[in-house]
Amino acid sequence: MKLRSAEAQAYPDKKSYSPKVSGHEYVTKFVELNIGLFICAIGMYMTVQANVGLAPWMALNVGLENLTGIGYGLWNNIIGIVLIFVDFALGEKIGFGTFGDCLLIGSYVQIMDFFGLFPVFHSFWIGIVIMLAGILIQDVACFYIMDSAFGIGPRDSLMVALARRLPKLSVGQVRILIEASALLIGWIMGAKVGLGTVIYMIGVGTVLDLVFALYKFDARRTHNEGFIETIRNIAALRGKS
């Protein structure tokens, strides 16, 4: 048995612009979410092993460590928690995907690092190629996570929230502005910034726009579900079956 709403009927052929309407859709979207989280970790690990400079958010973490003495890993978690509250205040929904992003991606990266999935690259230009490949994989993963519509990570939620309020900018351009802000603050606090960092800042947003264009996907229109909405909808579907 399916649930169908006016919003669902309005966009029947669109990806995640309408609520999920069947148990099968919940299963397939949950699989899509977990595929996205895993390949995002692969892309993130590749950008680290590329060894050509800190990513902007990592530069912010390192800058805060320089300022406070608190480790950059802990600052990464603190910033994520703070952003969850900011995202909620901006009207974004916090769902299973949000906490999957916070908890699983970093864990997958640690596992990959333990097994040495990729070596550390010492050639700058090979490192740039690996970093760009990692960015592409991360941005494809970003599409899968967003298209699953179970809620997205704190930083991506901030990007979408601002993109909704800045309609003249593409989502990728908003991403570049956020990355640039994080990078600037980190640099002011003493984090080292290299050419690779700048390439990452520009590349991650530019490639994201290309990926969304390829998939004909508008992140502003995604119908993300919060925890309660997901649980309520699944319960309703079970009751109708």
Crossing angle (nearest 10°) for helices 56-68 and 72-89 = 110
Residue 41: which domain range?
A: 21-236
241 or 146, greater pLDDT: 146
Enumerate helices (H) and strands (E) in the chain, giving the number of each.
Answer: 10, 0
175-192 burial string, b = 16+ CB within 10 Å, else e? bbbbbeebbbebbebebe
Count of beta carbons in the 10 Å neighbourhood of residue 212: 19
DSSP assignment of 111-166 equals: HHHHHTSSPPP--HHHHHHHHHHHHHHHHHHHHHHHHHTS---HHHHHHHHHHHH-
Contact 151, 80 (CB under 8 A): no
Q: Indicate whether 237 pLDDT > 50.
A: yes
Residue 30, helix vs strand vs coil: helix
Q: Which residues contact 232 (CB under 8 A, 6 or more apart)?
A: none
Report which DSSP code applies to 16: S
Tell me how many domains the chain contains: 1
Q: Is 27 a member of any domain?
A: yes
97 domain residue, yes or no: yes
**Is residue 52 included in any domain, yes or no?**
yes
pLDDT the model gives residue 72: 79
Q: Is residue 91 part of a domain?
A: yes
Residue 16 lies in a domain: no
- Reported as a single tens digit per residue, the pLDDT across 102-116 is 888 888 988 998 899
Residue 15 in tokens: 């990806």
Residue 18 has pLDDT above 80, yes or no: no
Q: How far apart are CA 12 and CA 27, in angstroms?
A: 18
Provide the CB-side half-sphere exposure for 93 (13 A, CA).
17
In a domain, 82, yes or no: yes
Report the predicted TM-score, pTM, of the whole model to 2 decimal places. 0.87
pLDDT of residue 2: 41
pLDDT in tens, 38-86: 999 999 899 989 999 888 998 898 899 889 998 877 888 899 889 999 9
Q: Is residue 241 part of a domain?
A: no
The pLDDT value recorded for residue 106 is: 83
Task: Give the per-residue pLDDT at 241.
Answer: 64
Q: CA-to-CA distance for 190 and 169, rounded, in angstroms?
A: 30
Whether residue 1 lies inside any domain: the answer is no
Confidence of residue 1 (pLDDT cuts 50, 70, 90): very low
Band the pLDDT of 12: cuts 50, 70, 90. Answer: very low
Per-residue pLDDT, 31? 95
